Structure 1
Amino acid sequence: MGVCWSNRIKAESPYHTGSNSKNAMSDGISPSNLSSKSATVPPTPRSEGEILESSNLHNFPFNELKVATRNFRPDSVLGEGGFGSVFKGWIDENSLTAAKPGIGLVIAVKKHNQEGFQGHREWLAEINYLGQLQHPNLVKLIGYCLEDDHRLLVYECMPKGSMENHLFRRGSYFQPLSWSIRMKVALGAAKGLAFLHNAETKVIYRDFKTSNILLDSEFNAKLSDFGLARDGPTGDKSHVSTRVMGTFGYAAPEYLSTGHLTTKSDVFSFGVVLLEMLTGKRAIDKNRPSGEHNLVEWAKPYLTNKRRILRVMDIRLEGQYSLSQALGAGNLALQCLCMEPKIRPTMDDVVKALEQLQGLKDSVKGSQKDRHSNRHAKATEWAGYPRPSASPLYT
């Protein structure tokens, strides 16, 4: 049973990337060297201060979570992250008290590591956003524990783990996701972002990436990890100004250069993730040949050309989509990745486009000839360098 909890970048955590900590630090966006170009404004109420009274969450006693996780036994660990370790546990579904292993509701308990990358502000933001916002495409936060120096978060357990693992990990446990499942996940994640952007007080997610998309037993996508989320601009303001934080390869270029954060910043990140789903390649991978390290820069010229787009499509998807579907998805990714934020679609527009894409009835067989002509080239391409590095099972 897998659970994925994201790093927040200050630095990439090896728990989420499969890399060692030295390399992980180099992959992250560091606020200390990128925040000088942005004016920092006071944090929003949901990211600093106290737990909001309206949070619909259960306050767990620490001893209850010790029992639920069998005293945080090492063999209960689901993974490691910048915040700390994630443990598997069981609670009674009605009383929310600790239950025997294998009985009751399966939970994932994230236990704060005081020496980790993340601190009280991120922990509090997670509680105050997920405590107020409920949607089928947001992971459910059941409760928290704040007792002495202990800070813990209790979530529903997501059996299929993260989208990142299913895209990039190789092994018998992680079979390649089909075209239909990838588009289902993309649509679900898009609906989650659209919900945040349409909330009474707009929410900018700020760290959208494949490791933050969790999958339930039916491959329904749910967004997790709200530690970097921010309330959007209000009144006549067009943006919020903040320290540059996020994950290298996913952050919008205007946000990197100015610190100006808008909902269109999330749209750009969605475009990167959609491109990863189409290609089966990571946003940044220095193991690829020169000129292909940055997925967006390399793939953009191919996305709207019916003769070339098949060259960037994941070979594991061969025979599962029509040329029209590939072009439609590629064009949508290209729109999201537009350098001019105002020209990017809204997430509502993205949802509509993905729904239309799923409704395409073009014959997949009609594209077989074009795919076959590219088969040898794709195989040669993969043979030229290592496949993307694996991630831990539970991330």
Structure 2
Amino acid sequence: MANNKKPGIWNIKVLGRNIFAKFFGFEQGVDITNDVAVLYRRNVVIKNIVFVSNIMYSIILFILSLSTEGEVSDWVVAFIAFPLTYVINKFLKKLINMDPNDKTKQSVAMYVSAFYIFFSSILIYARLYQKEYFETGAYILMYYAVVVISLYQEKKLMSSSFQGLLALLTVIHFIWTYNVQQLVGGETIIEFLPRFVRLPEFSDILLRTLLFILFYFVVYAIVSMGQYMQEERKLELIKRRQVQRDFSHIVGDLFSVVFSSSYTLMDKRHAYQVQQMAEKLGNYYGLSQGKITEMNQYAMIHLQYQEIKNMLNDKNSFDEKEYDILKEKTELGSQIAKRLQLAQKCEDIARAHIEDTANEKFLKEMLIIQPEIEAQIILLADLYITMRGPKSYKRPMAHGIVLKSFQSELVNYFDYDLKERFLKFHDEFAEMYNNF
């Protein structure tokens, strides 16, 4: 029974990852070498985070309204928060999408988003700081805002906003967290300060300030490292693309030259003859069916040269899809080059023995080239067909003459068992050649 289940659609984990990547993935469909595109994508993601944060703030206010015994002001604020969240998100979206390719406008959107993130957390704190069970959670939201701002991975933004955020936090401490005005009473500042520094309120304000500075310092260090790594990664990608572009042109030109000079080795009829004879010889030798299938593919692979003849010479830019295509074509080109090397080996051996130039040094050089048994089988079939047919340097040779050459001169190029199988069934190979 066919299985119609589609795990890609119904898999919750995959669905969750896809949704997260779409709305909160910082590199989703972004060329990291394009600074404006990266900033635009970060603005979009931060805008989505702001939207989620606003919903969370609205829920907090709604919970507050339920816990304050129906005070009208709390209910009103809770219900106003929902449409206000929508309006703010629409404004940020319009600002971000005003011109995705303008770095100045995207930078303005970044600073506006960063200011709003922190300012909104301050407003929530102003609403909740007097509630005994809400003050700590509301205060943590300001740390949460700093973390969200740090997602921009922008040192300049972090450093330029530090003094302003610290000043706002100090004002919050003195006005809302501890109402210093009530502590002053009728004292002058000279009378108040010595007494204030001994109060627990002063110690708590100092501790909160130091913790915020320390937290901000750590976040800044993380942002600094992240930005450095991002810049290094961008530079490395730019260099890799340049090398890849140069490499593709060089390899493309190289393949074009090789193919233009090796066109005589790409005769289709000859290739089919070699494949069929090699397949039969492989069966007689005892190769597995898998090995024979691979050998058949390799025997014909050089006929695919048109697929990479002008490999990516017209490409000026690369993405991940183009990298995959380039890798695939490069691997194909490598196999074609090896196959042409084997075909050239056949030509060199045939010509050397026809012209009587083969010696011990030539034999050693030939034995080094592709000594695998599958390559030897293809070479033997190719050499037999080459010796039988006409060439510019020789006339066609009868089967008996070629057979004597394999029994004497050509025997050293092949595995003993392979040569014995060929000689044992030579009549069948002669019939194959004559009937092709």
TM-score by length of structure 2 reads 0.22
TM-score by length of structure 1 reads 0.24
More helix by share: 2
Q: Which has the larger radius of gyration?
A: 2
Higher relative contact order (CA 8 A, sep 6+): 1
